Amino acid sequence: MILSSVSAATASGALAAASAVALLSYAVVALRAQSHANRLHPLLPLAFAAHLVALLIDIAGLGLDQPGARFGFAPALSMTAWLILAVYLVESRLLPLPQLRRVLSLLAAGAVALAWAFPGESRPAAASPWAPLHWVLGLASYGLFGVAVLHAALLNRAERQMRQMGQHKGQGLTLGLPLLRLERLTFQFVGAGVVVLSLAIVLGWLFTPQWRWDHKTLLSVLGWLVLVGLLTGRRAFGWRGRRATRWLYLGAALLLLSYAGTRFVLEVVLQRPAGV
């Protein structure tokens, strides 16, 4: 019992330290984004690494009485923010985008704080050996759709700027990035997200012992249908612009509600446990 309590205290202290470092670093990056407009802020990699450490400590369930994982709506949002930042760090080597850096840093700081306050529920054992892969794929799809939404927002902003400036569609640049390339990137992320989400849904259906049509499942499938409909409409009818991004926003919102939304209601509002 003494070792267990020490282990729990150590894990709690490590989680607090990693979360605090990530929060402070993200805050500095957000405040100083313009001063490092043409290069990566030196604290962003530190914030990114500390964020990952906090996620690993939390999700691994270090310090729990029983071995297993710990998860919930806040760690899911935090992991999604981390995945979006991972894509940004790759893209920032070609395009710094300081305005986007500020927004992402603030969102990541909020996600870290939320996960620190609501670390999730203990899950001593998975119902199926395939369950961890199902969870990982679901989170990966969250990240991919989050990046797609981010690119779609930039695309909408660029189109508004072009209309205001009276430019012809496709000839301008948005924050240094060609408009057609930005549109192509957006739908590449949507396509990758649909593939990953499809695998997650199939694994859940095949290997979950008690598959049921609850709110999480229904919203996930509805979100998948909307996003597949978006890709179909783009290929068959050439959907672009606002029509396409509205479908993307709707599908992403349904997916956000499917896990993070339903778990928030169960964990925080109703304060009762729920299965993954």
Nearest to 47 by CA among 9, 101, 99, 100: 101
pLDDT in the model for residue 38: 59
Question: How distant, in Å, are the alpha carbons of 27, 144, 148, 198 from that of 185?
Answer: 28, 11, 8, 20
Q: What is the mean pLDDT of each run of 10 residues along the chain (276 residues)?
A: 55 90 93 66 91 89 67 89 90 70 91 91 63 81 93 85 62 58 90 94 77 81 96 92 92 91 80 58
Q: Which one-letter DSSP state was computed for residue 178? A: E
pTM of the model: 0.81
Residues whose CB falls within 8 Å of the CB of residue 94, separated by 6 or more in sequence, listed in order: none
What helix, strand, coil percent values describe the chain, rounded to 5?
A: 75, 5, 20
pLDDT of residue 9: 78
